[in-house]
Structure 1
Amino acid sequence: MSAAAILAGALLLDAALGEPRWLWDRVMHPAVLMGRAVELADSRLNTGDNRTLRGGVAMAALGVVAVFLGAVLSVGGWPVEMILAAVLISQRSLVDHVRAVAQALRISVGDARIAVSRIVGRDTAEMDAPSIARAAIESAAENLSDGVIAPAFWFLVGGLPGLLLYKITNTADSMIGYRTDRHRDFGWAAARFDDLLNLIPARLTAVLVAAVHGRWRDLPAIAEDARLHRSPNAGWPEAAMARALGVALSGPRAYDGRLRDYPFVNETGEKRIGANSVDAACKALWRGWGAALGLVVLGGVLFA
C-alpha cells in the first residue's frame, strides 16, 4: 500500500476516533513516552558547562532513536503504520479542545479561562472573553500546522521514521525550546530543528486555509503578517486563519506574570470576538483537514 493511501486512512481513522479515553487510560500514549524521553535527557544532560553542545547531543540522540524505532515498527507493514500515524495526528482532539473553549465561553469567562488554559501556555487568570477567543483561535491555527499538516507531510516524506522524527522534535521544542534561564542554551537545538522541520508545513497550512476560504489574494498580506510573529513559522497559519475569519489575532498577552506587547496579526480585523468566532475556527480546521486529505488522495492517484 502506498504512503499516500496509508496516510489517507490514518487521517480518516483519527477523524473518526480521536483520542479514546478508554484506551489511553490503560495504555501509555506514544506522545507521553516521547515526553518522558525528553524529560530524561533534560534531567541527565542539562547540567554544568557546554549546555548548548549537550542539548545538541541530546536532540541528535533522540532523533536517531526515533528514526530507528520508526524503521523497526515499519516492518509490521501498513496496518501498524496507519494506526501509529492516526495516533500521532491530532485533528479530532484539536477540534474537541478548541470547541470546548467556545462551549465554556457560553457559560462564563471563568469556565472559559479553565478550558483555554489546557491548550495555551500563556497566563489566563486575567483574560477577558475576546482574549480567550483569540488564544483559542491562535492555538487552533498553530496546532493545525504542528499537529496535523506537519506530521502528515513528514510521513509522506519519510514514512514512519520521518513522522517519529518530527514528533520527537516537536515534543522536545514544546518542553525545552524556551528562552528561560534553564533552557535557553540546552533547548536551542530542539527549537532550531523544530523551526526547520516546520518550515514547509507551516506555509503549506497557510495556503490550505487561505484556499478553502477563497483568500488567494490575501497570500501577500498573510506573508507580511507572518513576519510580525515572534516565531518564524507559527505566524503563517495564524495569519491565514485571521484573514479567513476576519479577526485580529496575537496582540498583547502575559507570560509568567509579564505582559508582552506583541503586535496584532491582521490588525484591522474584528477584536471583540467570542464563542461564535471560535466555532468558526473549528469549521476552518475541518476545511483545512479536508483540503489536506484531498491533496493526499489526489497525489496517491497521480503518482500510483
Structure 2
Amino acid sequence: MVAAAALALAWLIDSRFGEPRSAWHPVAWFGRIAAPLGRRVHSWAAPAAFAAGAVLWCSLVAAVAGAAFAVEQAAGAAPAWIAIPLLAAALKPTFAWRMLNDEVRAVEAALGQGLEQGQARVARLCSRDVTQLDAAAVRETAIETLAENFNDSLVAPLFWFLVAGLPGAWAWRAANTLDAMWGYRGPWEWAGKWAARADDVMGYVPARLAALLLWRPSVGVARLTREAPLTPSPNGGWPMAAMAFRIGVRLGKPGAYALNAQAPAPDAAALTNALTVGEGAARGAIAAALLLVVLKVNLW
C-alpha cells in the first residue's frame, strides 16, 4: 500500500504545486548532464555516431534507473511515514500534468491578446515554425501538444511505474528526455537514432492506452486505427487522433498530415473542451494506476 499512497501523494503534489523551478528539477539536472555528451558525438561519422549514441543512451538511462532503484530500496527499508513521502517526492518529477495543462490554457489567453502573442506562446510547446500559423492552427498545435503529452508526461510514466516501479518511471523519463534532445533528423540523424527508436518502443503500449482513455466508442475502433498512423510518429498519432474525434475538430500539421480532416478547425471553445477532456482522462489514468498498484500488491 506504500506504493499506492506514494502515487496518490505525488499526484496531489503535481495538482497543487506543478513543477519545481529548473534549478531544483531532477529532469533539468539530467538534461544538463546529457546535453554536452550528445554534442560531442553528433557530428561523428554515421557508424561511430550511432554506436556512441546507443552507448550513451544505455549508460544514462541505466544510471537514472539505478539511482531510482536505490531510492526505492531505501524507502522499502524505512517505516511508512518516511517511505511514502520519499517515494512520492522521487516519483513526482517523472510526470508533469499540471504544467502541461497550464501551458496549453495559456495559449488561449495569449490569443485573446492577439495572434502574435498566441504564436509566441505556442512556440513554447512545439518546434514548428509558428509565424505561419493562424489562430486556428495555433489552437490545433496546442491541442495536439496536450494530447501527445498526455501520453508522454502522464500515461507512459504511470505505465512504467506499474511495470517496474520507480526505476521504470525514471527510465521512461530519461528515455523521453533524450529523445526530445537527440531524436531529430539532420545533424542528429545518427547520434539520436537509438534514442528516437527506444522512445518509440517504450511508448508503444502507453500511447495506445492514452488513446483509449481519450477515445469515445461512437467513433469506432476502425476509424481510430486508420487515422492514428497518419502522423510521422508511430505513437503520437494515437492520442492526437483520439482527441480529434473526441472533441470533433481537425488536427494536423500543414503539408504533413490531417486527423479528422473533414471536421472544422478548433475554436476557443474546442480548446477549452480539449482541456476538460484531458483533465477527465488524466483523473481516469491516475485512478486506474492506483487500482492496478493495489491489485499488484495483493496478488504478489
Quote the residue 1:88 is aligned against.
94
- In structure 1, what is the equivalent of residue 284 of structure 2? 291
Does the 8 Å contact 1:226/1:239 carry over to 2?
Answer: yes
In 1, the alpha carbon distance for the partners of 2:43 and 2:118 equals: 39
Asked if 1:249 corresponds to 2:251, the answer is yes
C-alpha change, 1:243 and 1:64, in structure 2 (3 Å) is same
Does residue 258 of structure 2 align to residue 264 of structure 1? Answer: yes
C-alpha distance in structure 1 between counterparts of 2:157 and 2:218, whole Å: 24
Corresponding residue for 1:218?
A: 220
Change (3 A) 1:218 1:4: farther
Tell me how far apart the structure 2 counterparts of residues 10 and 139 of structure 1 sit (CA, whole Å). Answer: 23
Structure 2 residues not aligned, in runs of 5+: 76-82
Aligned positions of 1:34-45 closer than 5 A: 34-45=30-41
Mapped to 2, the partners of 1:278 and 1:139 lie a distance apart of 11
1:275 corresponds to: 268
| Mapped contact 2:3–2:87 kept (Cα < 8 A) | no
Residue 138 of structure 1 aligns to a residue whose secondary structure is helix
In the superposition, the TM-score normalised over structure 2's length comes to 0.91
Higher helix share: 2
Identity %: 33
- 1:13 matched to 2:18: no
In 2, distance between residues paired with 1:99 and 1:87? Answer: 21
Q: Secondary structure at the match of 2:261?
A: coil
Match of 2:119 among 113, 125, 133: 113
Counting only pairs closer than 5 Å after superposition, residues 21-32 of structure 1 correspond to structure 2 as 24=21, 27-32=23-28
CA distance in 2 between counterparts of 1:281 and 1:93 reads 15
Once residues 153 and 5 of structure 1 are traced to their aligned partners in structure 2, the CA distance between those partners, rounded to angstroms, is 17
Partners of 1:53 and 1:104 in 2: CA distance: 44
What is the deviation of 1:274? 2.4
Residue equivalent to 2:190: 185
d(CA) in 2 for partners of 1:117 and 1:60? 31
User: Is 1:63 matched up with 2:68?
Assistant: no
1:82 maps to a residue whose letter is: A
Deviation at 1:44, TM superposition (A): 2.8
Alpha-carbon distance in 2 for matches of 1:293, 1:133: 26
1:128 aligns with 2:134: yes
Distance apart, 1:293 and its partner CA: 1.8
**Amino acid in structure 2 at the alignment position of 1:45:** V
In 1, are the aligned partners of 2:248 and 2:264 still within 8 Å (CA)?
yes
Cα offsets for 1:171-225 (capped at 9, x unmatched): 0100110011x21000000000000110011000000011xxx435433211111
- Which region of structure 1 is more displaced relative to structure 2, 72-81 or 190-199? 72-81
Cα contact 2:243–2:274 (8 A) shared by 1: yes
Q: Compute the TM-score of the two structures, normalised by the length of structure 1.
A: 0.90
Distance 1:115 1:274 in 2: 16
Conservation of the 8 A alpha-carbon contact between 1:52 and 1:189: yes
Quick one: structure 1 residues 263 and 43, their matched pair in 2 at CA, closer, same or farther if it must change by over 3 Å?
A: closer
Residue correspondence of structure 1 range 202-217 to structure 2 within 5 A: 202-210=207-215, 214-215=216-217, 217=219
The residue identity in structure 2 corresponding to 1:8 is: A
Counterpart amino acid of residue 286 in structure 2? L
Pairs aligned (count): 287
Matched with 1:98 is: 104
C-alpha distance in 1 between matches for 2:181 and 2:7: 27
Q: What's the offset of the Cα at 1:231?
A: 0.6
How far the C-alpha of 1:160 sits from its partner, in A, is 1.4
Structure 1's unaligned 5+ residue stretches are 253-260
